[in-house]
């Protein structure tokens, strides 16, 4: 089954999570949190002590020294050339991923850069990209970036501090409302001190954590181009504004394909942060209506790199001639990132889901063991935590600093949080689709919640049936959701499955017009202010909080995470939050996988040791021209 999202959706969401970071309505909560005190007060910081650096890390030292030559995980001598092609599902009608209108083309942000760039082998290290250095006081009340003087947009015009300031305010004025409201309250002022020096001034009375990273992550656009064209971020547009990045739009056919080409005049190709990267001359995205059609396209060589997301396909469909002849390579490298906290999400904005007994009853009807063994070929593990397999995952009973944090809000907590083991998903009988033991448990819960079984076997309360609609756009979910729906009907629930086209799904999802969807939350190994966007009680209307979850105790504990001076303190706070949220059960946890499933035509190569936090197939992989010629000669690819 799916372990990731389609290329188009990933491209949009990844940027939004990285560059948008917060919801605006969390600001009031953050301000209140600063009044709370947990543990010892930190020593006062000196506003006159200025720190100068070539990068920034939230905790501790950067992995790479100032004079590093290249990231450890790249091949600095990787050849340049060739094409890599991937697939995306559905349709696209514009190239502006910063608007809620329409569907942006896959990889629409590929041409834009920011002041800082992250490495893929450390959790929080960020290094100067558009800047050559930065400085900030120990109090982190502001940050100054000194820009490189050789940065050029793809149209040949110089990138200056005025473009950085313009981009910041452009996002505040026309970006997603949640971004604008939040960042305006946190970073109210940006000023160009000269053509190549820009200063971000942070608001008084708000947590400082993540603000330098937030400022350093703003995408930079050409002020001149936007002023000339009058283009807006909140409106769809087919033209991509000039960026400073390594790739530019080459060509496209609506709903069929998009081709990006490497900019031969890319200004930053020799920087240490870029050596061994951006090796393909072209990146092509082929669009397909669904994953089945995409699989057939891959088998025919229409595109050449596939990150598989279906256990059915991975287990049963990779036996075609190109595999047998050695033309296609299968690989399962380890994925060190946190598994996405995905599952069947309850829309808590619906009154019927306000009762946790209803949510738990519905959850008991999902048989993970049977689903995994019968439909997913035993390839997955059952997810337990929102921060699975990391130091941020709550385990056993709370102790140490985690317990202290929980005790500081004990009056808000439900009984058992301080003394019981962390909530674990229910266990199901894998020998049959319907676990009758769990059916009996679920029946008792719905009885207690007032949903009584009528003569027709349907459950009603106040004369209304318990209606639950599952919404999806992917045919690959049919075989997963349909048995779940059948189990719910055995419980007396009026459950239905509605699969719609991707465009309709996007519109319904954004407007929260659904009961349950397969979705979730993308968390990180290092948490900060963004935590309140996903789980804060003030961000109920935000797309990054699909469930609409709200919790005063999580709001309070987030103060520990935001103010943490050490990774250990941050981790303890997140474990406390994980424990609380798991007990709230606003999502039916499903599965996770610790590896990538890759299949590609044998003309791509990568370093022997991949970094833990990135696959990099479009970045630090490269093209072997001799192998490609052999595949063409054999008729494997076009």
pTM: 0.81
Question: What does the pLDDT average to over 174-181?
Answer: 82
Position 441 pLDDT exceeds 90: yes
Position 40 pLDDT exceeds 80: no
**DSSP-derived 3-state class of residue 557:** helix
**Structure confidence at residue 562 (pLDDT):** 87
Distance of CA 479 to the CA centre of its chain: 25
pLDDT digits (tens, 9 = 90+) for 50-80: 999 999 998 878 999 999 999 999 999 999 9
- Alpha helices (H) in 280-434, listed in sequence order: 291-299, 311-316, 321-324, 356-364, 368-370, 400-407
Q: Which of 112, 284, 276, 306 shows the shortest CA–CA distance to 611?
A: 276
pLDDT digits (tens, 9 = 90+) for 481-527: 999 999 999 999 999 999 999 889 989 998 999 999 999 998 999 99
Rounded CA-CA distance 180/27 in Å is 12
Rounded CA-CA distance 2/373 in Å is 15
Instruction: List, in order of start, the domains of the chain with CATH numbers.
Output: 247-336+594-634 (3.40.190.10), 341-592 (3.10.105.10)
Give the lowest-confidence range in 27-31, 485-489, 545-549: 27-31
Between 543 and 323, the higher pLDDT residue: 323
Write a three-state SS string for 564-586.
CCCHHHHHHHHHHHHHHHHHHCC
Give the lowest-confidence range in 57-61, 432-436, 530-534, 579-583: 530-534
Q: Model confidence at 175, in pLDDT bands (50, 70, 90)?
A: confident
Vertex 361: Cα angle to 357 and 363 (nearest 5): 120
Position 225 pLDDT exceeds 90: yes
Q: Percent of the chain scored above 70 by pLDDT?
A: 92
Give the lowest-confidence range in 28-32, 247-251, 350-354, 512-516: 28-32
Q: Model confidence at 130, in pLDDT bands (50, 70, 90)?
A: very high
Find the helix packing angle between 436-448 and 356-364, rounded to 10°: 160
Rounded CA-CA distance 232/326 in Å is 49
């Amino acid at each position: 089954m799916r372990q990731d999202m389609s290329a188009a959706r990933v491209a949009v969401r990844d940027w939004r999570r990285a560059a948008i970071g917060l919801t605006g309505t969390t600001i009031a909560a953050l301000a209140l949190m600063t009044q709370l005190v947990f543990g010892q007060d930190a020593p006062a910081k000196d506003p006159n002590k200025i720190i100068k650096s070539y990068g920034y890390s939230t905790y501790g030292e950067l992995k790479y020294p100032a004079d590093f030559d290249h990231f450890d995980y790249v091949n600095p001598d990787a050849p340049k050339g060739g094409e890599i092609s991937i697939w995306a599902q559905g349709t696209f009608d514009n190239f502006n991923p910063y608007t809620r209108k329409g569907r942006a083309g896959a990889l629409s942000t590929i041409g834009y850069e920011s002041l800082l760039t992250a490495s893929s082998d450390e959790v929080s290290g960020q290094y100067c990209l558009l800047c050559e250095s930065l400085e900030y006081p120990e109090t982190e009340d502001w940050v100054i970036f000194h820009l490189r003087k050789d940065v050029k947009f793809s149209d040949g015009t110089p990138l200056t501090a005025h473009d950085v300031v313009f981009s910041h305010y452009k996002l505040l004025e026309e970006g997603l409302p949640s971004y604008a409201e939040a960042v305006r309250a946190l970073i109210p002022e940006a000023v160009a001190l000269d053509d190549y020096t820009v200063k971000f001034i942070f608001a008084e009375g708000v947590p400082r954590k993540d603000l330098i990273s937030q400022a350093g992550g703003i995408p930079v656009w050409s002020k001149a181009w936007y002023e000339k064209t009058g283009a807006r971020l909140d409106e769809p547009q087919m033209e991509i504004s000039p960026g400073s990045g390594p790739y530019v739009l080459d060509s496209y056919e609506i709903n069929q394909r998009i081709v990006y080409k490497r900019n031969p005049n890319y200004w930053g190709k020799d920087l240490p942060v870029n050596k061994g990267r951006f090796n393909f001359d072209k990146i092509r995205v082929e669009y397909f209506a669904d994953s089945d059609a995409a699989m057939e396209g891959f088998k025919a060589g229409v595109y050449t790199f596939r990150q598989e997301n279906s256990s059915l396909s991975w287990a049963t469909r990779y036996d075609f001639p190109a595999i047998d002849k050695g033309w296609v390579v299968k690989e399962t490298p380890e994925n060190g990132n946190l598994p996405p906290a995905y599952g069947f999400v309850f829309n808590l904005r619906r009154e019927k889901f306000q009762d946790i007994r209803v949510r738990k009853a519905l959850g008991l009807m999902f048989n993970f063991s049977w689903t995994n063994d019968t439909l997913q070929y035993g390839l997955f593990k059952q997810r337990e935590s929102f921060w699975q397999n990391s130091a941020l995952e709550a385990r056993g009973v709370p102790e140490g600093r985690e317990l202290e944090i929980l005790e500081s809000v004990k009056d808000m907590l439900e009984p058992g949080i301080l003394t019981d083991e962390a909530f674990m998903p229910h266990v199901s009988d894998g020998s049959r689709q319907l676990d009758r033991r769990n059916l009996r448990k679920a029946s008792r819960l719905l009885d207690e919640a007032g949903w009584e079984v009528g003569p027709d076997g349907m459950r009603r309360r106040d004369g209304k049936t318990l209606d639950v609609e599952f919404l999806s756009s992917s045919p690959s979910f049919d075989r997963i959701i349909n048995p779940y729906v059948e189990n719910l009907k055995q419980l007396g629930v009026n459950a239905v499955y509605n699969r719609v086209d991707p465009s309709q799904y996007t519109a319904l999802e954004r407007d929260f017009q659904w009961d349950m969807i397969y979705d979730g939350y993308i968390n990180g190994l290092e948490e900060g202010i963004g935590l309140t966007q996903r789980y804060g009680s003030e961000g109920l209307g935000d797309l990054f909080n699909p469930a609409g979850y709200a919790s005063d105790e999580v709001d309070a504990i987030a103060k520990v995470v935001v103010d943490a001076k050490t990774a250990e303190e941050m981790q303890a706070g997140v474990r406390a939050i994980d424990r609380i949220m798991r007990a709230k059960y606003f999502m039916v946890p499903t599965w996770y996988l610790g590896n990538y499933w890759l299949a590609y035509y044998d003309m791509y190569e990568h370093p022997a040791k991949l970094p833990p936090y990135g696959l990099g197939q479009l970045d630090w992989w490269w093209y072997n021209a001799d192998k490609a010629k052999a595949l063409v000669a054999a008729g494997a690819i076009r």
